[in-house]
């Protein structure tokens, strides 16, 4: 860490550039709320743009000079090569851009999170020291190939477990953790979980670098197909065999285990029952989102890996390779002609006319003839009313739980009045459902009727506590719903007019 290296890093690092930006607190606060606090990996343009607009409106109340430009300008600027705070890309099957935090922005959020944690929280030195000692002890045993070393360690663990069992059987007091140690280890686990989320970006970025390198070499014709393919496969093999790749694929195998998922869900459900963790609202929320978030992160990385495989398959296709070479040649010719005409550009008006009056219809797009359906005629003149069945139906109808849409809309208005936008999960955490699944369906119906954001591609798990629907804790999977203050106000105005 010498002076020249630091000077170069301060000049070129997007993370340092974000920290030194004049509007850094507002940018970081918005990105943290949209991505990290909501537990979202990617956000489409149709959700992030109104979210930024609502955030700017809230800022005007206390900081009227902050973020005064249009939301579109800020999103474009944050994705530009000069900033690299957001990554904008297109996904197959979607007709709008998708946004994701870059590793540089993840570094800034991690740094500020640790800095604020030291200022307003506490540092669990005992738990960290215990973790270091246990890790080193496991390393000493695990690094040895001597069976006696492993047997000695297992016998020690067995003796400790048997001694604890005997104490409990004798009626002695259970050696529970001190409340401080409970909070220390919980905060340490939450911190490691946040760092794990950031580490996924590094693996994904490496796959993207390999894919981009293959595409550039293919377009520029810098190497033969065999050379490009060999370099890409060598880079992918290196990624799989180095420490980072090996650790990621072992993690992926572990998180895909059904038994491991069952154990994690059981642990997550037991954590809120601890009195010592009653005040750890943010940490408990992060742990509840752990399973779907880790699975989504792993799926995102594997999707980037599949994109690399698709690029390699296209490279092996001879026809596609010839077309790519031809495109590269045409681009070079265009650049050459443009450079030749740069000194003396044409003075006449240059324009392109497109005749869009012709409409082409493909014959295969027409559907084949199908026989029209025939309806069966049923005589209902002899049907009689079943009085008992009618009474049973009325009783079932009377037992149905009523959905109070007026109260739900008030909850949405109260939740979005200060934050501008709130997810369905956050809303239910603040106001637990009174009628179980019926309340969840009611909120989804309101989101549909009032024009809020519903994303079917990003499912969200909603936990309904026990005692609401029977005696069981229910976990329902619904589309990701974001309630936006602007959409609510427009709909509310229409209701008032009616």
Distance CA 250, CA 92 (A): 28
pLDDT by residue (tens digit) across 200-251? 666 677 666 766 666 666 556 555 656 666 666 665 665 566 666 667 677 7
Residue at 178 is within a domain:
no
Q: Which of 337, 372, 392 is the last residue of a domain?
A: 337
CB 404 within 8 A of CB 433: no
Domain limits for position 204: 195-337
Give pLDDT, residue 369: 66
Which ranges of the chain have pLDDT less than 70?
117-128, 197-203, 206-208, 210-246, 248, 304-322, 347-369, 379-385, 419, 466-472, 486-498
User: Kind of pairing, strands 453-464 and 42-44?
Assistant: unpaired
Say yes or no: 308 and 200 in one domain: yes
pTM of the model: 0.45
For residue 93, what is the domain's CATH number? 1.10.10
Distance CA 114, CA 152 (A): 39
Query: How many beta carbons lie within 10 A of that of residue 403, not counting itself?
Result: 16
Q: Which of 66, 87, 118 is the last residue of a domain?
A: 118
3-state DSSP assignment of residue 214: helix
Sign of CA dihedral 94, 99, 101, 102: positive
pLDDT by residue (tens digit) across 288-337? 777 777 777 777 777 766 666 666 666 556 555 567 777 878 888 888 88
Residue at 154 is within a domain:
no
Say yes or no: 333 and 409 in one domain: no
- Residue 87's DSSP bridge partners are 100
436 CB-near residues (< 8 Å, 6+ apart): 401, 464, 468, 469, 474
Say yes or no: 321 and 419 in one domain: no
Distance CA 463, CA 291 (A): 13
């Amino acid at each position: 860490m010498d002076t020249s290296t630091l000077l170069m890093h301060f000049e070129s690092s997007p993370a340092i550039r974000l920290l030194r930006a004049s509007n850094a607190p507002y940018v970081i606060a918005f990105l943290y709320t949209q991505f990290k606090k909501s537990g979202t990996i990617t956000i489409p343009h149709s959700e992030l743009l109104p979210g930024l607009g609502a955030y700017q409106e809230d800022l005007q109340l206390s900081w009227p000079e902050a973020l005064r430009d249009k939301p579109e300008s800020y999103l474009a600027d944050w994705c530009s090569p000069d900033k690299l705070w957001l990554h904008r890309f297109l996904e197959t099957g979607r007709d709008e851009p998708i946004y994701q935090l870059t590793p540089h922005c993840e570094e800034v959020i991690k740094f500020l999170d640790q800095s604020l944690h030291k200022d307003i929280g506490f540092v669990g030195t005992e738990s960290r020291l215990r973790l270091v000692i246990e890790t080193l002890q496991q390393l000493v045993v695990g690094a040895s190939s001597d069976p006696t070393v492993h047997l000695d360690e297992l016998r020690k663990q067995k003796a400790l477990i048997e001694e604890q069992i005997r104490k409990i059987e004798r009626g002695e007091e259970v050696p529970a953790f001190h409340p401080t140690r409970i909070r220390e280890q919980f905060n340490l686990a939450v911190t490691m979980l946040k760092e794990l989320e950031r580490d996924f970006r590094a693996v994904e970025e490496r796959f993207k670098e390999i894919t981009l390198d293959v595409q550039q070499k293919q377009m520029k014709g810098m190497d033969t197909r065999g050379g490009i393919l060999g370099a890409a496969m060598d880079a992918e093999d290196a990624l799989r065999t180095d420490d980072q790749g090996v650790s990621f694929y072992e993690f992926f195998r572990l998180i895909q285990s059904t038994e491991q998922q069952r154990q994690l869900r059981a642990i997550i459900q037991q954590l809120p029952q601890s009195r010592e963790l009653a005040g750890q609202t943010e940490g408990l929320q992060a742990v509840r989102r752990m399973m779907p978030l880790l699975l989504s992160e792993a799926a995102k990385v594997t999707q980037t890996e599949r994109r690399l495989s698709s690029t390699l398959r296209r490279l092996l296709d001879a026809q596609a390779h010839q077309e790519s070479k031809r495109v590269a040649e045409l681009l070079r010719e265009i650049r050459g002609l443009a450079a030749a005409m740069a000194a003396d550009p044409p003075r006449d008006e240059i324009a392109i006319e497109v005749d869009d009056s012709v409409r082409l219809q493909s014959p295969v797009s027409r559907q084949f003839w199908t026989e029209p359906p025939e309806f069966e005629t049923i005589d209902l003149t002899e049907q009689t009313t079943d009085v008992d069945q009618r009474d049973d139906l009325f009783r079932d109808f009377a037992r149905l739980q009523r959905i109070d849409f007026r109260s739900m809309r008030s909850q949405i208005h109260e939740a979005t009045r200060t934050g501008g936008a709130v997810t369905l999960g956050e809303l239910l955490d603040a106001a637990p459902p009174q009628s179980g699944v019926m309340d969840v369906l009611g909120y989804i119906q309101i989101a549909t009727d009032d024009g809020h954001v519903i994303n079917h591609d990003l499912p969200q798990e909603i936990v309904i506590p026990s005692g609401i629907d029977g005696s069981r804790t229910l976990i329902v999977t619904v589309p990701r719903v974001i309630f936006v203050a602007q959409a609510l106000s427009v709909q509310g105005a229409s209701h008032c007019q009616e």
